[in-house]
A and B are shown apart, each in its own frame.
Chain A
Amino acid sequence: SSMESRHRISKFGDRFIQDGATILVHGHSRVVSVLLSNAQKKGKKFSVIITEGRPGYSGYKTASELRKMGVKCTLILDSAVATSMEMADMVLVGAEGVVENGGVINKVGTYQVAMVASLLHKPFYVAAESYKFSRLFPLSQKDIPKRKEEKGRSPDSTGPNLPKDVPFNNPLSDYTPPKFITLLFTDLGILTPSAVSDELIKLYY
């Protein structure tokens, strides 16, 4: 069951959350919330930097969940990831899908965060249950499945008016290549990106 998977993942990922660490989180992910709340219950002291997660404002949901558990949180703009990265010790994100080469498909903005983390030598961890592994092998950002909401106008009705002939490109997911990912926490254990393809081959032999 997925709750059981999340608890297994928390058990594996618990070691990586050290006392006094600052963790950068992108948007909202149930696995990440469970992992962090279990670490908090164990008595670890850490603080979290959460990105807003526009256009869905998912970061606010994470912030309220974590605040209820007593975790110290800070919210930042999606564009403030690069400046805030030096204060973070590690990055932890969830995944919507894990692809064959060990890359992940996740909420848009994950790719950016991964690039910045890699440049500033911060470990980038992905927490994903094993049922999210898929047989995709994207070669570029265009190769991931798109969703209907992406074509459209400005996602934020409170923003300034956009001229009618200017389209608003709004991808909901992006693909993060495996070279930016340090480790994946799954219910099968802690895997390096190269181990993911092994698992998938075992499944589909």
Chain B
Amino acid sequence: ASKAAPVAKTAASSSSSSSWGEEIKNDVTPFIFKIVEKLELDLKRRMFEGSSDCAVSTLQVLRHVVSRGKFKSAKDLLKGIKVIGRRVSDANKTQLVVGNCVRRVAHIIRQTCAEVKQDKTKTQEGPVDVDLSRSLVKIMDSTQDSSLDLSMELSLNLRQLIIDEISELVEDVQRVYSHIKAYSVEHIHAKDVVLTVGYSTTVMHFLAAAAKLEREFDVIVVESCPSYDGHKMAKELAKHDIETTVVTDSAVFAMMGIVNKVIVGAHVVLANGALIARSGCHMVAAAAKHHSVPFICVTGLYKLCPLYGFDQDTFNDFKYPGEILKFQEKFVEKVNVKNPGHDYIPPQLVSLFITNFGGNSPSYIYRLLTEYYDVEDYEL
């Protein structure tokens, strides 16, 4: 605990005070404070390679909170999760996967409580619909009691159920690639020319699975300046015996004429069906729209976020400008260099989202939200 104190002070740059755990101090052990602060620091320092590592770490921390926290009732547990979740997701506002995981855990807690309660009162007629979302039916029909009483005791059984659900979620995140691979057979055919941007593990697995089926297709990889990830992607694809071509970012529009489909990975998928992807993807999407080429995004469902975005700045951050223009150059003081990390791609430009649970059009994404998140948790 003494080691945690100085860390907490330096981490308190946001408006919340350094004693952030005040409201849950009685229920949370010092060990939990320590692991949460470590996660927060890792997020601030951008120590995570990709979103899935981030998601898995967050879920593991939350699982510890559930298993070791001294919460008496499910309500206290939910409050604890949300306080911790707010803190952790504020650490890195562009890494929205963290917030998603917190919301999933909150949803799991509510669902599990509702199911346990339903089991207890099983003498009632028929299967009661465990639908906690607010809807017109609930407003019009006052006979249905939609409020969930969360003050039930957090028994060992309930705790274990919640922990099991979280573990299942962790496994889902870790096995995203193997689930998505199954869909590649439907989307990639022989003699297809696929365009992809930079390096994405999900896209790599997706294309590799199609290659295993011995389908002859070509891939054009956009090198994606300034990181030049495209080179790494091309090498990986070549290892799977895929015919690969690397092109510069400026050649995208010219090459789009011969492309059959564009497949990119996602950073975050927003509630209105918009996509936040690496910088450069919006340009590719606009070129694809112009040439009527389908723009497909492959992503895990843990990247689905219930927030809405509408412009390039909302969930964006800037990366190191030295990647574009080295600091040693003579004219560097006279030039303003901007290196945005991500692009916001509006839903009209995306044709299809392929997730580990199938393909969905952007206008359908809102439906998936109600299955995985509760409206009360949208604003952490």
What are the residues of chain B within 8 A of A198 when measuring CB–CB?
367
Say whether B308 contacts A195, CB under 8 Å: no
Q: Does B251 contact A (CB under 8 A)?
A: no
Complex interface residues of chain B between 152 and 183 (CB less than 8 A to chain A): none
**Residue pair A192, B139 in contact (C-beta under 8 Å):** no
From B57-65, B129-137, B189-197, B226-234, give the one contacting chain A.
B129-137
* Given A190-B271, A194-B366: A15 and B308 interface contact (C-beta under 8 Å): yes
Q: A182 to B375, alpha carbons, bound, how many Å? A: 20
Cβ-neighbour of A192 out of B137, B140, B366 (below 8 A) = B366
| Residues of chain B lying within 8 A (CB to CB) of residue A16 | 308, 310
In the complex, per-residue mask of B270-311: 1 if CB is within 8 Å of any chain A CB, else 0: 011100000000000000000000000000000000001010
Query: Of residues 126 to 152 in B, which have CB atoms within 8 Å of A's CB atoms?
Result: 134-137, 139-140
- Using a CB–CB distance below 8 Å, which chain B residues touch chain A? 134-137, 139-140, 271-273, 308, 310, 363-364, 366-367, 375, 378-379
CB distance from A130 to the nearest CB of B (A): 6
Q: A182-B272, A188-B135 are in contact. List 11 more A-B contacts (CB 8 A).
A: A11-B379, A189-B134, A191-B366, A192-B273, A192-B363, A194-B363, A195-B367, A198-B367, A200-B136, A202-B136, A202-B137
Contacts of B379 in A (CB 8 A): 11
The docked-state distance in angstroms from the alpha carbon of A154 to that of B134 is: 46
- Please encode chain A, from 110 to 144, with 1 for each CB lying within 8 Å of some chain B CB and 0 for all others: 00000000000001000000110100000000000
Known contacts A188-B134, A194-B366; A203/B140 CB under 8 A: yes
Closest B residue to A8 by CB, please name it: B134
Complex contacts, A131 vs chain B, CB 8 Å? 139
A99 CB → nearest B CB, Å: 14
For A133, A187, A192, A198, the residue with the greatest tally of chain B CB atoms inside 10 Å of its CB is: A192
- B366-A203 in contact (CB<8A): no
Q: A192-B363, A202-B135, A203-B135 are in contact. Are A123 and B273 (CB under 8 A)?
A: no
Q: Quick check: B375 and A183 within 8 Å, CB to CB?
A: no
In the complex, A199 has a CB within 8 A of chain B: yes
Contact of A189 among B272, B310, B375 (CB under 8 A): B375
Distance in angstroms from B101 CB to nearest chain A CB is 21
Q: How far is the CA of A130 from the CA of B375 in the complex (A)?
A: 15
Distance between A8 CB and nearest chain B CB, rounded to angstroms: 9
> Chain B residues near A182 (CB, 8 Å)?
272, 310
A188's partner among B136, B271, B272, B364 (CB-CB below 8 A) is B136
Residue of B nearest to A14 (CB): B379
Q: Which residue of A lies closest to B308 (CB)?
A: A190
Measured in the bound complex, the distance between the Cα atoms of B375 and A203 in whole Å is 18
Enumerate 7 A-B pairs (CB-CB under 8 Å) in ascending A order: A123-B310, A133-B136, A183-B308, A191-B366, A202-B137, A203-B135, A203-B137
Query: Do the beta carbons of B272 and A203 come within 8 Å of each other?
Result: no
